[in-house]
Structure 1
Amino acid sequence: RLRNEAEIWSKLRHPNVLPLLGICDDEDVAPNPVLISPFYKFGHIGNYLTNSSIKLEFADRDRLVSGVASGLEFIHANEIVHGDLKVQNVLIDMRGIPCIGDFGISKILNCHGYTSLGVGTVPYMAPELFSPGCVSTTKDSDVYSWALLLTCCQILTSERPKGRPTRPFLTSQDVHALRPKRSEYDVQKVTDDYWAILDRCWAFVPSQRPSIDNVLGSLPLLRCGGAA
């Protein structure tokens, strides 16, 4: 798995993707081989957003939103499915730029030998991944997870996730109830224009979700001027 992750990660060079610096297989350093990436003192995006010493305006949050979308667009353009997009896998660099990391269950599409059986982390999983017949993530499920990052992982709201599952086995009724509800989110933080895009990303049928490049093209139009 480590070799697979390194192979995928090494193909990605983008401002919003955590860089891979190399592999360490020195047993004096670690008992098992490890992948080396930069250390960012801010940690993951959840820590950054709840850091009391950092004042974030709406414009700052909008930049985080578009940064994560830009990183995911680049990943998908390289025919790679991330498969585990969540708050812990988006780190913040010294300039406050979000960087997507952890390609442990990612896969290269249309490439023999790179099929991952991973379906991600339960609270961020798309509804189809709870199906007994589902074996892997897709670009569509990545888009679903990206939209959850915006609302449930505090980028726009600074609030904890609402009503997300913690177990991988759900009834059909539970799965249909996964879609976030408009009434649960502040319209000043999650504007109606934002919600219209997010709601499309949460479409129950995967093929009805927009591609991430389609989403990214709409983001600059959402909050006029980025005013706080």
Structure 2
Amino acid sequence: MRILGLITARGGSKGVPKKNIKLLNGKPLLAYTVEAANRSKLITDLILSTDDDAIIQVAENIGLQVPFKRPEELAVDSASSIDVVSHALQFFESKGIFYDAICLLQPTSPFRKDSFIDEAIEKFINQKTDCLLSVLQVPHEYNPHWTFLENENGTLDIATGEKEIIKRRQDLPVSFFRDGSIYITKTTVIKERHSFYGESISYIESDPQYFCNIDTLKDWEIAEAKVLQLRIK
């Protein structure tokens, strides 16, 4: 299976200015994801999609291919990730290069175990689903069976639509949330549905100690502590 590893990093970060190339323990944030992807034996090609010249320079300095510069309209806050991925596919297909799937890797989730990407790809291939997500378990207090939505009357309904709440924590079904580390999707799903999700979704559980999703300065402080805790070089 031909898989395009796609790292996305736009230049207009507001929560943490220039976060994709900001130094984390002496290394650009982008580099952590690049190094993890380079350890993969199953990614066919690895590229960066960005609109920013400074990010391009850093990427090229660490050996990451940047075959195009992302159009400005795909670098604004309102631009969606699926549009960015579709643009990359269209670029390659215009040159007669085709992939069976995209493996989207976000620099804002910088920490991954050495074998994690290939474990995810292998599971995606073996289960033959439309997509695969990396996930973590939802803490029981946030389980959808214990959360509520406001209805049109201004009162609350159980989020799952049930009439009776599950009383015991032990009886709650396990639920998951996307941790942002890996998205793998068939090219056909991206093109036909304009979505990362198809009719079948497989998953791989991340190691909770590696979880970090950088969006704010507080998140950056957590990442600074975690990189020392995990002894990631």
TM-score w.r.t. structure 1 length? 0.28
Larger radius of gyration: 2
The structure with more helix, counted as a fraction of residues:
1
The TM-score with structure 2 as length reference comes to: 0.27
More RCO (CA 8 Å, sep 6+): 2
Q: Which structure's residues are more often strand, by fraction?
A: 2
